[in-house]
Amino acid sequence: MITPMWRYVVLPPPKTWRMLLFAGQQETYLNISGRRNLLTTCRRVFASLFTDRAISYRVDKGFTHMDVTLSIGVQKVVRSDLGASGVMFTLDTETGFRDVVFINASYGLGENIVQGAVNPGEFYVFKPTLEKHRPIIRRHLGSKLIKMVYSQVHTAGLSTRNVDVAIEGRNQFAINDEEVLELARYAVAIEKHYQKPMDIEWACDGEIGELFILQARPETVQSQVNALLHETYELKQQGPVLAVGKSVGKRIASGKACVVLDASDMYKVHPGEVLVTDITDPDWEPLMKIAAAIVTNRGGRTCHAAIIARELGIPAIVGCGDATQSIANGTEVTLSCAEGDTGYIYAGQLAFERHEVDLSGLASPKNRIMLNLANPEKAFETSALPVDGVGLARLEFIINNSIRVHLRALLEYDQLQDVKLRNQVASIVAGYPDPRSFMLNAWRKV
């Protein structure tokens, strides 16, 4: 009888809990079955305490090598190869906004989403009204081009492979609204138990249709940020845009682009250069520490490259699609994550400024200070400012950002004659039953 396990989850005891700062520090193994294989793999997990990346991390953080211990969690396999899987945080990973659950979801096993091999769907759920309402405040479809599935079953375990996702699947969300809300409730309960923001992995079993929590660890970047120390970056010039993706962090960096297509060429990256690659995994960590910034073709805001970039305090732009083709090796580039959720890679070294303001010593005026808000992507970030709320919301700009289509084009979609325009609208409303449903959903959020 085959009894495969989903993965090993490394859980250091409380005195070394901070060792979980580095994603992928110890080895994890998928689908181990049989007593002998289980014991052999446990030895490999223990031995992974002394891999290059684990030793390097402990030296950087000042941990004594022989004081570190670990335990191994073993879980039965969840058939997410037939369903979906992902990662969720109990805060916004880019701004530290505490009132949302941020959920990533893609088809198949979770390895692709963690390694950044797939651009997942994204959901934001507003925690304060979760008990009584259905507060999904933002959705992003994600391309979800591939999924990892089991290729065969044998006595040694299950092997895996990646397959293409059909067009129909790409144009649908990997999980429905009910599953999004259920995951958000799980996340809130876990955060309440541990009394701190959490980073959680989950899976949906496609055979039985149930959701499972696979592991949880403390969120270790935004939860440690001093909200009263306000840091901003301002780009002083503009240049040709070479690539666009999801911004990680709010910083700007510039340097010579080093395009690395294979891990065997990692030695070509020098300190201060901008690493441009397809995806990263834990073996890239020593290289990522010397880079000024990171750019990847694939991945979402919870992929390996994004997590490590946050922990290292360097900007990254992930999920660009064609960065390794559109950015020439050796050229000077400027990477900007200071313009909202979308990150831009510009040609040339552009001038920028960094501003830092300590808000802790500012006295409150007698009158109320309110914000003018036009860009919804800035709402989470500006909520941390010492203000009393929003005084003016520029509705026309919010509609442009959130809906992105003229309302008549949505209501009268069937009457559109321009094929190019119809295709543009169709790509925006993908994942919804029809353009009208998309408009109503977006309008509720506005």
Between 198 and 427, where is the model more confident?
198
Look at residue 348 in the predicted model and tell me its pLDDT.
95
Q: Which helix (H) or strand (E) segment is 121 a member of?
A: strand 121-126
Cα-Cα end-to-end distance for the chain: 54
Residues 6+ apart with CB under 8 A from 177: 134, 136
Look at residue 145 in the predicted model and tell me its pLDDT.
92
Q: For residue 33, which of 45, 41, 22 has the smallest C-alpha distance?
A: 41
Q: For residue 138, which of 341, 383, 410 has the smallest C-alpha distance?
A: 341
Of the residues 133, 304, 355, 406, which is catalytic? 304
Percent of the chain with pLDDT over 90: 42
Q: How many Cβ atoms from other residues are within 10 Å of residue 392's Cβ?
A: 10
Look at residue 15 in the predicted model and tell me its pLDDT.
39
Distance of CA 446 to the CA centre of its chain: 24
pLDDT > 60? residue 56: yes
Confidence of residue 25 (pLDDT cuts 50, 70, 90): confident
Q: From CA 59, how far away is CA 66, in angstroms rounded?
A: 12
Look at residue 115 in the predicted model and tell me its pLDDT.
79
Q: Which domains, ranges and CATH numbers included, belong to the chain? A: 5-76 (3.30.1490.20), 80-224 (3.30.470.20), 229-356 (3.50.30.10), 363-397 (no CATH), 403-445 (no CATH)
Look at residue 23 in the predicted model and tell me its pLDDT.
59
* Poorest-pLDDT segment among 13-27, 108-122, 155-169: 13-27
What is the per-residue pLDDT across 148-169, written as a single tens digit (0 to 9) for each? 998 765 444 567 889 999 999 9
Looking at residue 189, its amino acid is: A
298, two tokens? 């694939």
Average pLDDT of the segment spanning 361-388: 82
Q: From CA 296, how far away is CA 268, in angstroms rounded?
A: 17
Q: From CA 42, how far away is CA 26, in angstroms rounded?
A: 12
Q: From CA 100, how far away is CA 103, in angstroms rounded?
A: 10
pLDDT > 50? residue 5: no
Query: What one-character-per-residue DSSP string does 333-399 give?
Result: EEEE--SSSEEEEEES---EEEEEEEGGGPPPPSSPP-EEE--GGGHHHHTTSS---EEEE-HHHHH
What is the per-residue pLDDT across 312-357, written as a single tens digit (0 to 9) for each? 889 999 999 999 999 999 999 999 999 888 999 999 999 999 998 8
Average pLDDT of the segment spanning 291-302: 91
What is the per-residue pLDDT across 299-319, written as a single tens digit (0 to 9) for each? 888 888 898 898 888 999 999
230 a catalytic residue: no
pLDDT > 60? residue 66: yes
pLDDT > 70? residue 408: yes
The CA distances from residue 106 to 85, 116, 399, in Å, are 6, 11, 27
